[in-house]
Structure 1
Amino acid sequence: MLDVGFSELLVFGIIALLVLGPDKLPEAARFAAKWYTKFKRAITSIQNDIDRELRLSELREQMQNEMQRIQELEQKMQAQMQELQQQSKQAVEQEQETATSENKTHPPIYFYIEKTVSYIYIPEFWIKNAAFIDHKAVQETETLQILPELKVAV
């Protein structure tokens, strides 16, 4: 802190010895050392406080930057989710349009099977996966048509 060499301290000690005398010199040295240590502690605590505040302000700034980055990522993800939902809706609509157009132009074989073969012999997944059949209507007709046609094979 202070650049004081040995020669300067020697000169300072001789002057203090001449001014204060040999009786008061030890008391003055203790008093000066006591105040020097208090002053040094105060300076180091102030430096530590300043360093701590600087680190805190840097951390706050980093946190704000990270929060902004997270919010930007969240907005991007929401935009992508909306885009995917729109694409899926469009794909479903296109599938429905193609299914209805295929049903109108080329009647599927299922209609033929439905008229000739009883519901018991048609696998259940064909019925459930058929996009052109209303599932509630199939269930109602199944219960009504299957019961009278049930026969025991011998």
Structure 2
Amino acid sequence: MFNIAFPELIVILLVSLVVIGPDKLPKVAQTLGVMVGRIQRFMTAVKDDIDQEMRSDDLLRLQEELKQQKEGLNDELRKGMQPVAEVIRRSETPASETARENPSATTTKVAEHKKSVTQQKESLSE
């Protein structure tokens, strides 16, 4: 912070000894030391507050970036799933048309399925 060399410090001490006097110099030095300690603690607290704010700003920025990446991935996933959804719709369409044209065929298929499930259960229980 300050660039005070040893010779400069000696000059400051000699001047303060002459100006203040030898009887008040220890009390002034003690008061000066207490004030310097308070200033250092205050500066440390300010530095810690600034560091904490910088970290919170970084975290908020990171959170926004992650949210944007998530939205981008969701959009890409939707685009990638569109062909699969179209295939599923195409495969469901003939079955639903068959059911509309001939409802008894669907009922027959359901009955056949139930019968095969019942037979499988009976074979497992034996």
**Structure-2-length-normalised TM-score:** 0.72
Q: Which residue of 1 aligns with 2:90?
A: 90
Quick one: which amino acid aligns to residue 6 of structure 1? Answer: F
The structure with more helix, counted as a fraction of residues: 2
Name structure 2 gaps, 5 residues minimum: 99-103, 116-126
Tell me which of the two structures has the higher relative contact order, counting C-alpha pairs closer than 8 angstroms and 6 or more residues apart.
1
Q: Which residue of 2 aligns with 1:10?
A: 10
CA distance in 2, matches of 1:134, 1:91: 18
CA distance in 1, matches of 2:11, 2:105: 110
- 2:108 pairs, out of 124, 129, 137, with 137
CA distance in 1, matches of 2:20, 2:91: 100
Q: Which residue of 2 aligns with 1:67?
A: 67
Aligned residues: percent identity? 27
Name structure 1 gaps, 5 residues minimum: 101-132, 144-154
Query: SS of the residue aligned with 1:2?
Result: coil
CA distance in 2, matches of 1:137, 1:84: 30
Divergent runs of 4+, >6 A: none
Could you report, residue by residue, the CA deviation over 1:18-48 in whole angstroms, capped at 9, with x for unpaired residues?
0111100000000111101111111111111
Quick one: which amino acid aligns to residue 71 of structure 2? Answer: Q
CA distance in 2, matches of 1:8, 1:73: 65
CA distance in 2, matches of 1:38, 1:82: 66
**Structure-1-length-normalised TM-score:** 0.60
